[in-house]
Structure 1
Amino acid sequence: MKKILITRILPDKVLDAARAKFDVTVRDDVTPLNVNEAADALQTYDGILPTLGDAFDATCFEQAGKPRCKILANFGVGYNHIDATAAAKAGVFVSNTPGAVTDATADIAMTLLLMTARRASEGERITRAGGWKGWGPVQMLGTHVTGKTVAIIGMGRIGKAIAKRCHYGFDMNVVFYNRSIVQEPGVPAEQMPTLEAALGAADFVVVAVPGSKETHHLIDGNAFRDMKSTGIFINISRGDVVDEPALISALQNKVIHAAGLDVYEQEPFVPEALRALDNVTLLPHLGTAALEVRENMGMMALDNLIAALDGKAPPNKV
């Protein structure tokens, strides 16, 4: 029976299915694999089901030499923690779980957009602390969402799902920026010629690009200055897509109005400067945190792993 490593505890349905097929080791540590642990895993297991943050970088593959492992069946659509080029050179498949995460991640984008616009997290904190003095006509006035313009940065599966919710759910005008031409955005939408144009046109900006070297700090201080001073910024992509100190400065100095974040540059570390701000909504990376979604992700990752260890190309090879 082939040996596999699952780097974080997954739902029982997924673990049961894996154990029916393989000799399974499951880490009970919530922290990601470091480089040395990842290199050792490549030498020890026939297949690995890794996830966010596990350090399968070029150094890891150099340390591992000729790996025993045949596949890194990533749990999640984003795989910027895996050097796919180094993996390919080592003869290791890399796969991910596209599609399974689309709607759940789009839902979290809308959760953040609404919470931030209507100051919901701030209001909840005040209420829990016993600070609410009663209703009043000018109490905690927020930003109206219906009919406003949203700019979606990255019009892939998740970006299109966000656009659908914004347009059909809230009558929002949709503009977007994407590096390639998008022929079918799925809703009436205008593709903007530059990132700057998209940012400047919008009341709300939602970032939905994949994490990669090309998108590292795509949203920097200049990007925040391109936004409206009344603009609200939402990030559900990857933390390092945003220059976090630049975001903090933009919020502190009212360059932008507010932000809603589900991801951070050095997860799980969230800077005190962010936590101290009332004009930011902070969630602990809840993007796909629904049981049926995580089960679907796990089963898709397992299908990829089974295919590779049966000598076939994984269905979702990246």
Structure 2
Amino acid sequence: MSDRPRLLVTRRMPDAVTARAARDYDAVLNPEDVIMPPETLLRAAEGKDAMLICSSEKITAELVAALPDSVRIISTFSVGHEHIDVEAVKASGRAVTNTPEVLNEAVADLAILLLLGAARRGHEGQSLVRDGRWNRWHTTMLLGKDLGGARLGILGMGGIGRAIARRARGFGLEIHYHNRRPLPAELEEGAVYHDSPEALAAVSDFLSVNCPSTAETRGLVDAAFIDAMPKDAVLVNTARGDIVDDDAVIAALTSGRLFAAGLDVFAGEPDLDPRYRGLANAFLLPHLGSATFGTRDAMGFCCLDNLDAFFAGKPCPTAL
């Protein structure tokens, strides 16, 4: 019998992560990448010391109460942890960790892609070319929005928000932001703080949503928020889909109140609101924020670093 910790890996992982998990743990893998419903997850957790999960696994208080006593730590392959009742896990005496920081640069890159794709009508341009409808050029064809001199509002100026700000300055955007509290001047790097989401909305020619999904932020970007923004603003969301009110965003895109939106995340994904698909001014991606080879490896290694530390009796580097 192996003396290595017994690890349940609930989803298929990148090859390098799988290899390390199999080397260092008595690991039960999921190469078919089947999403486990709660009852299956509980059966699979029997006899395991640890679980390496993704946001597809909902770790509710009820599931925590039913977990086998053998499970001592849950490590999630994500920065967001709204799929976990963190307090219930901790109250049960178990450790819980996530993967912050390692995906900041990849998500910031994608946010800029969404911003440019929305501002410069990327979906419409691609459709013209791919559908064979591009038959001539003219001076007012698919005119988009200039970035230089415009104001970018960043809703949530954590590591990802600051990485976006660094990139956006290169395009000549003026950076504004809202956090629960102002950043130290050395982290602001000249960005202008606004003490409320509504104040930020009023100056956001472009808005990037980068805050976590919490009880306070769900539905924050609603009709009133959008109405406070300058007309023809562009909305970008790489955080969580439930931070925006789909009805409000779709109505604003349909009416022209918003010029465009670049969205990588959706409420209920992958079952997004189907009305988005019919909007020419919606530039849509399937939750690709962290989808680079290096970043996904780094996320998995962060999970395993936490597990290694835990079973060595050391503090977990990114404990929640």
TM bucket normalised to smaller: over 0.9
Distance change in 2, residues 1:208/1:191 (3 Å): same
Which residue does 1:170 correspond to in 2? 171
Post-superposition offset of 1:227? 1.3
Distance in 2 of aligned mates of 1:198 and 1:302: 38
> CA-to-partner distance for each residue in 1:215-260, whole Å, 9 max, x for gaps?
2212222111111221000000011111222221221222222111
Which residue does 1:248 correspond to in 2? 250
> Residue 181 of structure 2 contacts residue 195 of structure 2 at CA under 8 Å; is this kept in 1?
no
Which residue does 1:262 correspond to in 2? 264
Distance in 2 of aligned mates of 1:30 and 1:197: 44
Which residue does 1:7 correspond to in 2? 10
1:47 to 50, 62, 67: 50
2:20 to 17, 21, 44: 17
Distance in 2 of aligned mates of 1:112 and 1:2: 42
TM-score (norm 2): 0.94
> Residue 261 of structure 1 contacts residue 281 of structure 1 at CA under 8 Å; is this kept in 2?
yes
Distance in 2 of aligned mates of 1:46 and 1:234: 40
Gaps of 5+ in 1: none
Post-superposition offset of 1:62? 2.5
Post-superposition offset of 1:28? 3.5
SS of the residue corresponding to residue 265 of structure 2 reads coil
Post-superposition offset of 1:213? 2.5
SS of the residue corresponding to residue 170 of structure 1 reads coil
> Residue 35 of structure 1 contacts residue 59 of structure 1 at CA under 8 Å; is this kept in 2?
no
Which residue does 2:100 correspond to in 1? 98
Which residue does 2:180 correspond to in 1? 179
SS of the residue corresponding to residue 24 of structure 2 reads coil
Q: Cα RMSD (Å) of the superposition?
A: 1.5
Q: What is the one-letter code of the residue matched to 1:174? A: I
Gaps of 5+ in 2: none
Post-superposition offset of 1:125? 1.2
Distance in 1 of aligned mates of 2:22 and 2:123: 41
Distance change in 2, residues 1:220/1:39 (3 Å): farther
Distance in 1 of aligned mates of 2:35 and 2:265: 16
> Residue 154 of structure 1 contacts residue 177 of structure 1 at CA under 8 Å; is this kept in 2?
yes
> Residue 49 of structure 2 contacts residue 72 of structure 2 at CA under 8 Å; is this kept in 1?
yes
1:237 to 207, 217, 239: 239
Post-superposition offset of 1:30? 4.4
> Residue 70 of structure 1 contacts residue 308 of structure 1 at CA under 8 Å; is this kept in 2?
no
> Residue 217 of structure 1 contacts residue 242 of structure 1 at CA under 8 Å; is this kept in 2?
yes
Post-superposition offset of 1:15? 0.8
> Residue 57 of structure 2 contacts residue 83 of structure 2 at CA under 8 Å; is this kept in 1?
yes
> Residue 150 of structure 2 contacts residue 174 of structure 2 at CA under 8 Å; is this kept in 1?
yes
> Residue 102 of structure 2 contacts residue 295 of structure 2 at CA under 8 Å; is this kept in 1?
yes
Which residue does 1:280 correspond to in 2? 282
> Residue 38 of structure 1 contacts residue 55 of structure 1 at CA under 8 Å; is this kept in 2?
no
SS of the residue corresponding to residue 180 of structure 1 reads coil
Post-superposition offset of 1:67? 2.9
